[in-house]
Chains A and B, each alone.
Chain A
């Protein structure tokens, strides 16, 4: 089975899920003070874990390009003004996939389920830290506020991403997660 066909198709389909979660607002969970939690980056993590860093990078690019378009066309909050800047919306997202893949690869030999959880957390935190970091460098937000957002938004997002990544990849690859029945 050719690896390129697989990579191309998985990247396309995961990119589509990311866009779909954004378009339908299924990917946003209302949270404190109107700052919604997002899970649009989860397809990036799953794609990277399944097919490697390059696929993760491409899905991240699709996610980023789409969040730029969405911020411009159908804004959901005042913060969207910042996301019309590609340095905020696209560049940080390129790193989600490679980081998630690296953490998965590094820990896989020890415990596959654990490595999936860590990949979900690492990928999410990459997104949080880099996006907020760029916002901080642009002086859009004061640094103490950024720290607060990183904790109030980044941590719950990381937990949700870890749960979904584990559930999906474990079910897909039929990895034992300790449950008796199916992983889903």
Chain B
């Protein structure tokens, strides 16, 4: 059984998992959803505020409910990396600069020292990852890859004036997404072909030179097969008179509705709120207050 699973690669390629529930979030303009996603990522990366992150987490959970996605199903995506996240958080707790003058020591045992700063950093790390993962899954649950590329193209279009090839960029992303399952299939075929000639792709292989040598007979044909596939695609596109984005008209015209503006404004407000809390150090104040008054 394990021998069979060794060649299973398609299972890894599940980026765009779409759940067609037809909810209010599914019907939003993909441009609005893309912008909301960018705002979320920006706010999560920039904000160092626990209160702000909690607000973002709540917003994503509300989004999951609005999208009619079962919340336990979405949370299941977090489970496989929980042990790893915990380890990372522990690393953060004990390795954040201990010498900061303002840090309060909460707990000390031989060389391990836990300060309020370190603990905050650890909690923030888990919070940040959870918000990112849930937010991105929410986006993929409610947006098809076609909607995504349409939205991307429409968003980039204003920059066309400055020479940005919006249509081409969207097409590149589209091709990349649609090539993933093809690559998985081809690699499985190549792995089986090499294994039938005696190659062993054991994952536990620690010897670097051996691993690298095993990869070469797989990677080089993979590149060549992909280039061949690309060649076929080019020919097919040209046979259908594809000439690029210039003068191209679209079957689908995106129209921003009132609901899209409302959603976008809400996301903007939340992101601004989270960043604002981070700038004013709102929860450091809160945190210190809690631990000073114990």
Contacts and interface: CB of A to CB of B under 8 A. Distances in A.
Pick from A1, A15, A17, A164 the residue with the most CB of B within 10 Å: A17
A6 interface: yes
B211 interface: yes
A184 B224 contact: yes
Given A12-B171, A75-B81, A84-B45, A5 B237 contact: yes
Contacts of A26: 187, 215, 218-219
A1 B212 contact: no
Contact of B208 (A1, A24, A30, A86): A30
Given A78-B91, A156-B208, A29 B176 contact: no
Nearest to B227: A172
B208 A8 contact: no
A39 B222 CA distance: 14
A116 interface: no
Interface string A146-184: 000000000010001001100110011000000000001
B215 A29 contact: yes
A160 B213 CA distance: 10
Contacts of B226: 13-14, 16-17
Contacts of A168: 220, 223-224, 227
Main secondary structure of the interface of B (DSSP, over half): helix
Contact of B172 (A19, A31, A62, A73): A62
B180 A6 contact: no
A10 B233 CA distance: 10
Contacts of B212: 29, 160
B13 A8 contact: no
Pick from B45, B136, B227 the residue with the most CB of A within 10 Å: B227
Contact of B132 (A2, A84, A163): A84
Given A19-B176, A23-B12, A73-B132, A4 B206 contact: no
Contact of A8 (B88, B175, B205): B175
Given A9-B230, A30-B211, A72-B133, A81 B88 contact: yes
B81 A74 contact: yes
Pick from A13, A37, A84, A85 the residue with the most CB of B within 10 Å: A13
Contact of A4 (B219, B224, B227, B244): B244
A35 to B, nearest CB: 12
A9 B233 CA distance: 7
Interface residues of A, number: 51
A6 B234 contact: yes
A8 B168 contact: yes
A2 B12 contact: no
A24 B187 contact: yes
A69 interface: yes
A11 interface: yes
B180 A12 contact: no
Contacts of A29: 208, 211-212, 215
A23 B175 contact: no
A150 B230 CA distance: 34
A20 interface: yes
A4 B168 contact: yes
Given A2-B243, A30-B211, 17 more contacts: A1-B238, A4-B244, A7-B168, A8-B175, A9-B233, A9-B234, A10-B230, A30-B205, A46-B223, A73-B132, A73-B133, A75-B88, A84-B128, A164-B223, A167-B220, A184-B220, A184-B224
Interface of B: 9, 12-13, 15, 41, 45, 81, 84-85, 87-88, 91-92, 125, 128-129, 132-133, 136, 168-169, 171-177, 179-180, 183-184, 187, 205-206, 208, 211-212, 215-216, 218-224, 226-227, 229-230, 233-234, 237-238, 242-244
